[in-house]
Structure 1
Amino acid sequence: MKTTKTTMTGYKEAPFVQIRQTLQSERAYESHAHPTLSIGFMMEGKTCFQTPQGAFFLEQGALAIIPPHTQHSCNPIKESKRSYVMVYLDADFCARIQARHFKEASTLLPLTSPLIFHKELFEAFTHIIKAFIKEYSPLHVKALESWLETFFWLYTKRCVIKETEETLHNVARFLESRIDETLSLSDLAKRFGLNSFVLARHFKQAYGCTPKHYALDLRIDHAKKLLQVGTSLALCAQYCGFVDQSHFHRFFKRHTALTPKEYQVNFVQ
């Protein structure tokens, strides 16, 4: 019987990309988000891909597109296992590539679809990522940049940023700068001159979650970075604002389907 295996791979020469490969997994996740542009594909089986835009079945031949800070979950169909790859791409790196076509892209512009069926793009992307998994090469980086340039040209949504959206963007950036603190909704609303109810409603419309949940996602992502460089679980919990190590362990596993120790052991660079 095949057993679940997860490998997280990062690259010193290309810190803007990380790859998660999970084989024969039945593990489920809570809804969560990443600060990266995340692109996933199935190697075997299928999964239920839940986004703010609806639920989809993700199978071989399609790419799941998850913009930064977008709530999502990718969970197995009942009594089945699946194997998949998730690629996490730094948002600033992606915005610089996107700006080659769209000059207004100082931050990553919105994308048009959470699920794309494009045979040539799918085959090219999976080929590049499988090559990355096998071994690092600067040629793979160039191929990935070229792929992203084509992808952004086809799937970037042109839009005008409204004042409310800019305020919400500032709230999100403020939360990113306070990872080790627990900030109340009323404190945030007061700081940005908004009604608490209005802030919560508009923030959820924009990011798919409450400011509190958004801040938790940021803390989990920061914990991943600390675990990658060998930081102890106790210090990770402390640095990321968790009450204690068990509190950290519980929320980390809910978000990643791995314990902090499993994540640290299976990270390869």
Structure 2
Amino acid sequence: MKKRIFTKIFNDKNLPFVELRYSNNTKHYKNHIHNTFSIGMNLKGKTIYSNKTKKYEFDVGMLAIVNPKEVHSCNPVTKEPNLYYMLYLDPNWCYGIQKSIFKDLEGFKPFEEDVLYDEEIYTDFKNLCNLLFSEISYKEKEQKLIQFFTKLFKLYMKESEQKKENKDFEKIADYLEQNSTENISLEELSKEFNLNPFYIIRIFKAQKNITPHAYLLNMKINRAKKLLKEQKSITFTALECGFSDQSHFHRNFCKYVAATPKEYKLNFVQD
């Protein structure tokens, strides 16, 4: 007996940002694009999922992720119809969810993965699709959509590595400035921020082209210049800025200011 081919589509004027297709269509699609952010799943059967230049053997238990305007297709492997859900979302609605999680975002952030192998998320998505076709109110459906996509984006849409590096650098640089009277080692920074010492060196070289130690020395010298302007003694300034002795202070001050502490201080003597 030939299987009945069907397609059901969920849409609601109260939820204009979402559309859901439930189908066992056997048609083959050419590579195409959508303006939506889309997620699909197979309930029965296998397909070949293509996204840009990659192809995946797409099976039950997997989720296909398609960013807006990505060239893709998803076609059955056999003549038997595969049963599937395909959800389409307005990227601006998605951006609203993303923005609630990542405050610095200035637009929709594309998903990095084409395919997810996550049993919990797969089950949650299946339940969400079933629920959208149910008789509950549109407000309840909206809440479930928000809950699911908040969870999805939190789990998988990490901030960019560059933004993370920028934030790590800013935190460490601020810490060094606030504690410039101390002699803070790389190992101490590593423990304080729970970061690999080689990573700390790399982000300082990338941001300022100097080492963390050199950055701390700069903070010490800047503080020393301020104290000398206030006519504090050279001995007091050296100790206050965390230098081991006056000779150590003199040597480093000359390197960074191209003048001795005494020469620098004399420029600010009031007649």
**TM-score scaled to structure 2, two decimals?**
0.56
Give the paired residue count: 160
- The CA distance in 2 between the partners of 1:84 and 1:112, in whole Å, is 23
Q: Indicate the residue corresponding to 1:156 in structure 2.
A: 157
What's the RMSD between the two structures over aligned residues?
A: 1.8
Determine the structure 1 residue equivalent to 2:61.
61
How far the C-alpha of 1:160 sits from its partner, in A, is: 8.5
The match for 1:89 is: 89
Question: Does 43-52 or 129-138 show the bigger shift?
Answer: 129-138
Shift of 1:129: 1.1
Shift of 1:123: 0.7
Greater CA drift, 66-75 or 138-147: 138-147
Q: How much has 1:84 moved relative to structure 2?
A: 0.8
SS at match of 1:99: helix
CA distance in 2, matches of 1:53, 1:148: 26
Where 1:142 maps in the other structure, the secondary structure is helix
TM-aligned CA distance change 1:66 to 1:136, over 3 Å: farther
Task: Give the aligned partner of residue 142 of structure 1.
Answer: 143
Per-residue CA distance 1:167-202 (angstroms, 9 max, x = gap): xxxxxxxxxxxxxxxxxxxxxxxxxxxxxxxxxxxx
**Cα deviations by residue, 1:87-109 (Å, 9 ceiling, x for unpaired):** 00110000000111112333211
CA distance in 1, matches of 2:160, 2:71: 21
Gaps of 5+ in 2: 163-271
Is contact 1:96–1:106 with CA below 8 Å preserved after alignment?
no
Which structure has the bigger radius of gyration? 2
Question: Partner amino acid for 1:64?
Answer: A
Counterpart Cα distance in 2 of 1:113 and 1:45: 22
The residue that corresponds to 2:20 in the other structure is: 19
Output the CA distance in 2 between the equivalents of 1:17 and 1:124: 17
- Helix, strand or coil for the counterpart of 1:129? helix
Give the Å deviation of 1:55: 0.6
The secondary structure found in structure 2 opposite 1:40 is strand
Deviations 1:151-178 (A, max 9, x none): 11122253489xxxxxxxxxxxxxxxxx
Q: Check conservation: 1:29, 1:73, Cα contact below 8 A.
A: yes
1:69-218 paired onto structure 2 within 5 Å: 69-137=69-137, 138-159=139-160
CA distance in 2 between partners of 1:51 and 1:8 (Å): 23
- 2:28 aligns with 28
1:186 match = none
- Residue 110 of structure 1 aligns to a residue in which SS? coil
How many percent identity over aligned positions?
Answer: 29
In structure 2, distance between residues paired with 1:105 and 1:76: 37
User: Which residue type is aligned with residue 23 of structure 2?
Assistant: T
Aligned position for 2:8 = 7
- More RCO (CA 8 Å, sep 6+): 1
CA distance in 2, matches of 1:160, 1:62: 26
Q: Kindly indicate whether the alpha-carbon contact (under 8 Å) linking 1:39 and 1:65 is maintained by their aligned counterparts in 2.
A: yes
Cα contact 2:10–2:132 (8 A) shared by 1:
no
Unmatched 5+ stretches in structure 1: 162-269
Moved over 6 A (4+): none
Contact 1:49 1:55 in 2 (8 A): yes
For residues 92 and 41 of structure 1, the distance between their equivalents in structure 2, rounded to whole angstroms, comes to 23
